[in-house]
Amino acid sequence: MISSDKIFGIFFFFQICFGLMGNSLLFILYMYIFLILPHKKKPTDVILAHLTFANTLTLVFRGVPNTLLSFGISPEMGDTGCKAVVYIQRVARSISLYTTSLQSTFQVVTITLSNSKWVWLKIKMSTFIQPSLLFSWIINMVIYSEIILRNVANRNITDARSGYYAAYCKTDVPHHHIAATFLSAISTRDLFLLSLMTCSSIYMVTILFRHRKTAEHVRSTIQSSQGSPEIKATKLILMLVSCFVFFYWTNTVLTLYFFFVSGNKWQLESFGNYVASCYPSICPFLLIKYEKE
């Protein structure tokens, strides 16, 4: 009979294979557009290129170690490898959150500013996309630099000191005030971006509902609106945001439970890592479906 660890390993393996295949295909496509066909580049292509890159980092640095562990192979990473793996996991997760939020916000501006008098605002916002993405990478790399100081390889999984423990890495809890400040800053940022995504999604749903109501009265409008790039992009972003929010909160609840409950919960941690990698593996196929339409 196959053990639960090996079942997790099989799920991780297929998740990584399909996720990397989809994200790599899209990233190559965006690079081809940027380098060979720059005249076809859209502002959202820059956002999606960053998203696929962050997804790839998440799948590699979260999925591969957990896949090896599930099959009984303990990766000997040492302190340096442990610091790098956890650091990249956290930065990539934050970039995924930011790019999804930025994409939803930009789409709201796109479908709202249909009046030609406001086109300049849409164009101006497009010029801020690349600097804002660069700033996001820098600020998140700085924020999570404290992980480099507090993470070491987990050489003794029976160690009962407080802190976060993985099968290959552990993070000691810092001083109470430092931990409270760090968690407050991270939570505030995440809640702000999640709220922005949620508000943008509600607004886009309202726009789509009004559009559908109007189209019901004009048959020709129905035929022309179904193929509208703006409508397709809006529906895509709503799917991406819904997936991200669902998996984000599921993983957050599991992480908090794992952090505060004493004892080594390997199966729970594996499930949490699998959930955390679901969005990066599903996202590219939603984007590919959109590109084909």
Residue with tokens 């090996």: 6
Q: For position 79, what pLDDT does the model report?
A: 77
Tokens found for residue 219 = 């048959």
Q: For position 279, what pLDDT does the model report?
A: 92
Q: For position 76, what pLDDT does the model report?
A: 72
Is this structure's pTM higher than 0.75?
yes
- CB neighbour list of residue 143: distance below 8 Å, 6 or more residues apart: 94, 185, 186
Nearest by Cα to 45 from 287, 270, 230, 281? 287
246 within 8 A of 229, measured Cβ to Cβ: no
Q: For position 92, what pLDDT does the model report?
A: 93
Report how far residue 29's alpha carbon sits from residue 52's, in angstroms, rounded to the nearest whole number. 11
Domain positions in the chain are: 4-153+163-292
- CB neighbour list of residue 231: distance below 8 Å, 6 or more residues apart: 208, 211, 225
Report how far residue 49's alpha carbon sits from residue 24's, in angstroms, rounded to the nearest whole number. 10
Report how far residue 70's alpha carbon sits from residue 96's, in angstroms, rounded to the nearest whole number. 26
Region of 166 (left: φ > 0; alpha: ψ -120 to 50; beta: rest) is beta
Three-class SS of residue 166? Answer: coil
Report how far residue 289's alpha carbon sits from residue 286's, in angstroms, rounded to the nearest whole number. 5
Kindly report the number of other CB atoms within 10 A of residue 188's CB atom. 10
Q: For position 166, what pLDDT does the model report?
A: 58
Nearest by Cα to 141 from 205, 87, 204? 87
DSSP 213-242: HHHTT-HHHHHHHTT-HHHHHHHHHHHHHH
- CB neighbour list of residue 73: distance below 8 Å, 6 or more residues apart: none
Q: Going residue by residue through the chain, which has 293 residues, state the pLDDT in tens, using 9 for 90 and above.
A: 677 778 888 888 999 999 999 999 999 988 888 888 888 888 888 999 999 999 999 999 888 888 888 887 776 777 788 888 888 989 999 999 999 999 888 888 877 765 555 566 677 777 888 899 999 999 999 988 887 777 776 665 544 444 454 566 776 665 666 667 777 888 888 999 999 998 888 888 887 777 666 655 554 444 444 456 667 778 888 888 999 999 988 888 887 777 666 555 667 777 888 888 899 999 988 888 776 55
Report how far residue 155's alpha carbon sits from residue 225's, in angstroms, rounded to the nearest whole number. 59
Q: For position 266, what pLDDT does the model report?
A: 66
Angle between helices 266-276 and 278-292 (to 10 degrees): 20
Judge: domain 4-153+163-292, CATH 1.10.10.10: no
Q: Give residue-wise pLDDT tens across range 53-105.
A: 999 999 998 888 888 888 877 767 777 888 888 889 899 999 999 999 998 88
Q: For position 20, what pLDDT does the model report?
A: 93
Q: For position 225, what pLDDT does the model report?
A: 45
Q: For position 163, what pLDDT does the model report?
A: 46
